[in-house]
């Protein structure tokens, strides 16, 4: 499915995003922080969700999303390698893991063109070191969503964060 992706240099990060980034990094160790009250995003006013990719993990370690809400997903690559955020269930993750493993070591560059069947594509955002990509996306009501990176080796090294589908104002609906 098409998504409009905007690439931003980290130098262009607005101060507000840097504050949010700092908050995200501050919670990177230990248990995920309790879910603060979330106002679900709508198409005209998407909720900002920041995912920071490093070598090799994501912050936050659990991503809280509301089914049906529209988010403005900002994927920041604060690592040295190219990373990606693929959001989908286990079947989606497995499809990308297999597709990218098949081209591991293809010269040059870490992100050769790979694809998977549309029904297994999920959402894929590839971000080079030092960049940020912004994507507006509507969260599906799909259990078992995961944010994963399938640049060869990264997923097995722990580059995955489960999505916790939550209901605004209630306890997490699933973990």
Nearer to Cu ion by C-beta: 111 or 142? 111
Return left, alpha or beta for 150; rule: phi > 0 is left, psi -120 to 50 is alpha, else beta: alpha
Part in contact with Cu ion (CB under 5 A); list of ranges 2-10, 91-99, 131-139, 141-149: 141-149
Spatial contact of 109 and 84, defined as CB atoms under 8 Å apart: no
Report the alpha-carbon distance of residue 53 to residue 25 in Å, rounded: 11
Alpha-carbon span 110 to 103, nearest angstrom: 9
151 sits near Cu ion (criterion: CB under 5 A): yes
Region near Cu ion per CB under 5 A, out of 10-18, 112-120, 134-142, 145-153: 145-153
CB 7 within 8 A of CB 126: no
Residue nearest to Cu ion (CB): 149
Site for Cu ion in 45-84 (CB under 5 A): 83
Q: 17, 159, 163, 165: which one contacts Cu ion (CB under 5 A)?
A: 159
Cα(11)–Cα(97) distance, integer angstroms: 31
Judged by phi (left if over 0) then psi (alpha if -120 to 50, else beta), residue 58 lies in: beta
CB of 157 to Cu ion, least distance (A): 8
Judged by CB under 5 A, the residue of 132, 133, 154, 160 near Cu ion is 154
Size of the residue set binding Cu ion (CB under 5 A): 5
Query: Which residues contact Cu ion by CB under 5 A?
Result: 83, 149, 151, 154, 159
């Amino acid at each position: 499915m098409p998504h409009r992706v905007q690439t931003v240099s980290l130098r262009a990060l607005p101060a507000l995003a840097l504050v949010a980034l700092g908050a995200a990094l501050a919670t990177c160790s230990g248990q995920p922080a309790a879910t603060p009250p979330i106002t679900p995003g709508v198409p005209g006013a998407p909720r900002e969700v920041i995912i920071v990719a490093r070598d090799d993990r994501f912050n936050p370690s659990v991503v809280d999303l509301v089914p049906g809400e529209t988010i403005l997903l900002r994927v920041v690559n604060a690592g040295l390698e190219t990373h990606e955020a693929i959001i989908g269930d286990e079947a989606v993750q497995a499809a990308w893991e297999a597709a990218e493993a098949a081209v591991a070591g293809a010269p040059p560059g870490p992100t050769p063109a790979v694809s998977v069947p549309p029904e297994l594509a999920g959402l894929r955002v590839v971000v080079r070191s030092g960049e940020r990509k912004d994507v507006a996306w509507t969260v599906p009501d799909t259990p078992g969503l995961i944010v994963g990176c399938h640049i060869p080796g990264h997923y097995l090294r722990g580059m995955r964060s489960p999505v916790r589908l939550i209901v605004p104002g209630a306890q997490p609906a699933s973990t």
